[in-house]
């Protein structure tokens, strides 16, 4: 069968491969090369070695490092809060009470609304609240930070909750029953049975919140657009601003993008190995 199929190889793979090369493979390879060049379009690259990378850290106040720090602090807090809230909700919603389905439906809904629309919706509401204190979200970086955390929670909790619910429902009932017979308290059952059994869900959820927090762009652009003074500018937004904000900085933007990719990959890998190690075999 493989032989006959092989003759049709191009029919099966060409459309996807053509589009994939265009959208990913070529731009990725060009991107690595361009990060070592000075250019304004892809047609006029001039090799400059590592100077773009040096510029990333020496440009005015080194906004890139500030953005990286802001993103990291944001990601850590977001991961912790989102996962604790989502897991608690999942526990409550697996207790078989009335209306579980409606609750689940509503908690998940914000996840489907896109980042731009979501960002402006929250901007409006937070500004309306801050109006009482005669200020706006753009006045203070703290407001922007808290706003981003709230927004991220609003969007991600429902999504993670769904994954945790699926995990909790897969915990074998016999185990929970056995613990009960042995006299385990609810807290002990949760600590010693439920949490170890749903470690795979925890791995997935922390990974998803981590990569979504790091790559956050639309929400950041809509809620604060980096105001005030780039203080709430996350890495993704900083890179896009570098590319399209200052002429002549395209190479620096590309260098930042490449480092951003390496950081995302490395952080993701570390997180996966740590949580995977804690998973138990059924």
Partner 1 sequence: MKKKEKIIRERMSFRDKVLFVVLSILVTIFMYPIIFIINNSFKGKFFISSNPFSLPNIETFSGIRNYTTGLAKTGFVDATIWSLFITVVSVALIVTFASMTAYYITRVKNIVTSALYIIFVFSMIVPFQMVMFPMVNLADKLHLNNPVGMCILYLGFGSGLSVFMFSGFIKSIPIEIEEAAMIDGCSPIVNFFGIVFPILKPTIITVAILNAMWIWNDYLLPYLVIGLSTEYKTIPVVVQMLVGSNGNRDMGAMMAMLVLAIIPIVIFYLACQKYIIDGVIAGAVKG
Q: How far is the CB of 40 from partner 1 (least distance, A)?
A: 10
Which residues are CB-neighbours of 162 under 8 A, at least 6 positions away? 104, 108
Q: How far is the CB of 193 from partner 1 (least distance, A)?
A: 21
Q: How far is the CB of 188 from partner 1 (least distance, A)?
A: 19
Q: How far is the CB of 170 from partner 1 (least distance, A)?
A: 10
Enumerate long-range contacts of 31-34, CB under 8 Å, 24 or more apart.
Answer: 31/254, 31/257, 31/258, 32/258, 34/250, 34/251, 34/254
Q: How far is the CB of 92 from partner 1 (least distance, A)?
A: 6
Whole-angstrom Cα distance, residue 138 to residue 141? 7
């Amino acid at each position: 069968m493989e032989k006959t199929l092989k003759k049709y190889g191009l029919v099966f793979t060409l459309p996807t491969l053509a589009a994939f090369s265009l959208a990913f493979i070529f731009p990725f390879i060009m991107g690595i090369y361009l990060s070592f060049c000075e250019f304004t379009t892809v047609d006029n690259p001039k090799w400059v070695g590592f100077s773009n990378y040096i510029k990333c850290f020496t440009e005015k106040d080194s906004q890139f490092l500030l953005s990286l720090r802001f993103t990291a602090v944001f990601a850590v807090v977001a991961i912790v809060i989102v996962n604790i809230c989502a897991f608690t909700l999942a526990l409550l919603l697996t207790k078989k009470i009335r209306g579980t389905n409606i609750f689940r439906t509503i908690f998940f809904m914000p996840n489907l609304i896109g980042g731009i629309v979501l960002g402006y919706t929250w901007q409006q509401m937070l500004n309306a609240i801050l109006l009482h204190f005669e200020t706006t979200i753009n006045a203070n970086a703290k407001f922007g930070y808290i706003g981003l955390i709230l927004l991220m929670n609003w969007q991600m909790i429902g999504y993670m909750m769904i994954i945790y619910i699926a995990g909790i429902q897969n915990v074998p009932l016999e185990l929970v029953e056995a613990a009960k017979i042995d006299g385990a308290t609810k807290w002990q059952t949760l600590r010693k049975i439920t949490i170890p059994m749903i470690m795979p869900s925890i791995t997935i959820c922390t990974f998803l919140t981590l990569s979504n927090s790091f790559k956050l762009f639309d929400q950041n652009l809509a809620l604060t657009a980096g105001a005030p003074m780039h203080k709430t500018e996350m890495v993704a937004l900083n890179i896009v601003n570098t590319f399209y904000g200052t002429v002549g900085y395209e190479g620096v933007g590309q260098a930042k993008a490449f480092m951003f990719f390496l950081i995302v990959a490395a952080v993701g890998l570390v997180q996966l190995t740590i949580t995977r190690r804690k998973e138990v075999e059924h």
